[in-house]
């Protein structure tokens, strides 16, 4: 076998495991989104709690009970927040970050930053599903998914200049731009059924960019900590934080712009 064949084989070596585990996640996520309500709230809380568990495990690999304690506290905080008035929910969402600050003896800034982003993201996802309905939730998920999937295949097919080789050596500008195009197409399709109109194309691209920023932030943190994956929970994907890093950036961004521009007006 030539070096070229080996390189081509390595390029797609994780595809089977990635697709199988990805399909399982899609099925579980789709069921949670479809059912909504308490089921979706518990699913989001579990995912957020496990991401905090992974985060603490990376920042303090020698800790024993710390990751489980902070992960459990964070999951409970997210779950409780959706049932409380916003004025009471916000301090509850920030409490795990401050509690963890007192528990860790290093990497505190990283922990606080990512914990706040994870918990606000979880809260934002529950708000989208509860207040905006399945349609907008589907739009958000599709924008993030096509950004990742189309970027993955385009980057490995076309290659080209690397996006951030020191931190994420596999990501290319071709894959990054392809993700924007895919998100724009999703925005165009959904614009026909909303009151947002063609502006949804630009909003979709912006959400795509925000998801890529979440991905880059997590990649930078992993590189700093000297780890490849946040955990080994998901074959072909690493951990939940590896898989949902884009959703973190996208949902927090959507939560913010929703406060400024009153988005969205509703989905029919």
Biggest CA-to-CA distance, the chain:
63
Model confidence over 183-199: pLDDT tens digits?
A: 999 999 998 877 778 88
Picking from 166, 87, 170, 81, the residue whose alpha carbon sits closest to that of residue 118 is: 81
Residue 126 pLDDT greater than 80, yes or no: yes
Residue 260 pLDDT greater than 80, yes or no: no
The structure's pTM equals 0.83
On whether the CB atoms of residues 21 and 234 are closer than 8 A, the answer is yes
H-run or E-run covering 172: strand 168-172
Q: Would you state the pLDDT for residue 132?
A: 85
The better pLDDT of the pair 136, 185 is held by: 185
Q: Is residue 2 part of a domain?
A: no
Q: Is residue 102 part of a domain?
A: yes
Q: Which domain holds residue 58?
A: 10-261
Q: Is residue 217 part of a domain?
A: yes
Q: Would you state the pLDDT for residue 17?
A: 66
Q: Is residue 163 part of a domain?
A: yes
Q: Is residue 1 part of a domain?
A: no
Model confidence over 199-212: pLDDT tens digits?
A: 899 999 999 999 99
Q: Please report, in angstroms and rounded to a whole number, the separation of the first and last CA atoms in the chain.
A: 55
Percent with pLDDT over 90 in the chain:
40
Q: Is residue 5 part of a domain?
A: no
Q: Would you state the pLDDT for residue 72?
A: 94
Take residue 68 and report the two structure tokens written for it: 């489980």
The torsion angles phi and psi of 229, rounded to 5 degrees, stand at -130, 155
Q: Label residue 36 exposed, middle or buried (CB < 10 Å: 0-12, 13-18, 19+).
A: middle
Q: Is residue 126 part of a domain?
A: yes
Q: Is residue 66 part of a domain?
A: yes
Instruction: Report how many domains make up the chain.
Output: 1
């Amino acid at each position: 076998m030539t070096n070229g064949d080996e390189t081509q084989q390595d390029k797609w070596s994780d595809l089977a495991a990635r697709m199988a585990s990805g399909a399982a996640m899609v099925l579980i996520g789709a069921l949670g989104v479809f059912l909504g309500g308490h089921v979706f709230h518990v699913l989001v809380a579990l995912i957020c709690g496990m991401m905090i568990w992974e985060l603490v495990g990376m920042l303090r690999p020698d800790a024993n009970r710390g990751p489980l304690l902070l992960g459990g506290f964070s999951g409970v905080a997210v779950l409780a927040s959706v049932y409380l008035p916003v004025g009471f929910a916000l301090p509850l969402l920030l409490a795990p970050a401050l509690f963890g600050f007192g528990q860790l003896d290093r990497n505190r800034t990283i922990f606080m930053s990512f914990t706040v982003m994870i918990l606000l993201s979880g809260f934002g996802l529950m708000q989208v599903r509860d207040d905006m309905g399945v349609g907008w939730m589907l739009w958000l998920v599709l924008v993030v998914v096509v950004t990742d999937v189309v970027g993955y295949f385009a980057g490995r097919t076309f290659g080209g200049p690397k996006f951030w080789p020191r931190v994420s050596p596999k990501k290319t500008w071709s894959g990054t731009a392809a993700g924007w195009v895919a998100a724009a197409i999703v925005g165009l399709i959904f614009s026909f059924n909303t009151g947002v109109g063609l502006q949804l194309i630009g909003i979709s691209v912006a959400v795509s960019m925000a998801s890529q920023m979440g991905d880059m932030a997590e990649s930078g943190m992993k590189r700093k900590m000297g780890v490849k994956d946040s955990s080994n929970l998901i074959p072909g994907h690493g951990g939940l934080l590896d898989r949902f890093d884009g959703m973190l950036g996208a949902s927090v961004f959507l939560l913010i712009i929703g406060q400024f521009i009153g988005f969205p007006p509703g989905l029919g």
